[in-house]
A = this chain, B = another copy of it.
């Protein structure tokens, strides 16, 4: 990817866990350790911290001496803010020359003194919510390489996880594949990407083109979807991403128990068949060969014993491999993709 039009992070990371006690808020750190352990140097924890990411503990000085590239704020508490007391350590890391990487609402440069600390240390302040400048308008021109996009009828339904699992399982099958991140957690995991929902509206599809550029014919980019073309708040993001990604194939992320858009209860989710049909219909505009290769199902809320029947029923309805990536992996979907079916 072009470093001018994507965010790129410097590894290895020191993951700031601080005094966090609730694993829910340490998801980003946990995700990085799970998916990219090779990018992680260690964790920085304060007394009273109730979480262990399972990597070595470092102080800022130790991490700097060990060649650490970035202090990554690996927690995302309610409101997107960290406790006031953490900022001393963040400034210390900046003075020590580490890049500071944040997905917080507050822009790092707005924190008094932090820009000066970074200037003194020679590192960067990287807000992964802030898109790169100079994004182009989408051209819609065909490009080499293959692309898979994860889509859904709603937000927060497994698009990032599924894309990561697909990329992992493609690599395991011997394919040259990359995960392409479009959201802040995905960017921290991958170490690069574009926060597609934060770009200026005119550049959504251009950002998606930049994110998954022309590649070797056998290379596969697995692109993290965002939002939904059916979402009354975010459909623009999702259609621009669909058109810019020009996917050869897509995977629908599905929760069999979800009936309405989360937070928009006056909007029923469309049936799975319509989700597939409409993505094929609109996706054809920029890739005439687009096809659905499978359904990624969140079965975690199903009663024990229901799981197999639900997956079988979805598979009957769609004629596609339907898997829970957490339980089954995505091998069945990868197989279908590689068969070109």
Question: What is A's interface to B at a CB cutoff of 8 Å?
Answer: 137-141, 196-202, 204-206, 229-230, 232-241, 243-244, 264, 266-267, 278, 281-282, 285-286
Contacts and interface: CB of A to CB of B under 8 A. Distances in A.
A205 B232 contact: yes
A202 B234 contact: yes
A201 B197 contact: yes
Contacts of A204: 201, 236-237
Interchain residue pairs A-B with the least CB separation, the first 6: A140-B232, A236-B240, A204-B236, A236-B236, A138-B233, A239-B239
Contacts of A199: 200-201
26 contacts: A138-B233, A138-B234, A139-B264, A140-B232, A140-B267, A141-B266, A196-B201, A197-B201, A198-B202, A199-B200, A199-B201, A200-B201, A201-B204, A201-B240, A202-B233, A202-B234, A202-B237, A204-B236, A204-B237, A229-B239, A230-B285, A235-B239, A235-B285, A239-B239, A267-B285, A278-B281
Contacts of A243: 232, 235-236
A87 to B, nearest CB: 25
Contact of A139 (B197, B202, B229, B233): B233
Contacts of A232: 138-140, 205, 243-244, 285-286
A206 B230 contact: no
A229 to B, nearest CB: 7
A268 to B, nearest CB: 10
Contacts of A241: 236
Contacts of A278: 281
Contacts of A198: 200-202
A196 B236 CA distance: 11
Contacts of A281: 278
Contacts of A286: 232
Given A140-B264, A239-B239, 7 more contacts: A201-B204, A205-B232, A232-B286, A235-B243, A235-B285, A237-B240, A278-B281
Contacts of A206: 233
A200 B206 CA distance: 14
A119 to B, nearest CB: 23
Contacts of A205: 232-236
Nearest to A261: B140
A271 to B, nearest CB: 14
B201 A140 contact: no
Nearest to A196: B201
A264 to B, nearest CB: 6
Contacts of A266: 140-141
A196 B140 CA distance: 21
Among A235, A266, A282, the one with the most B-chain Cβ atoms within 10 Å of its Cβ is A235
Contacts of A233: 137-140, 202, 205-206
A76 to B, nearest CB: 17
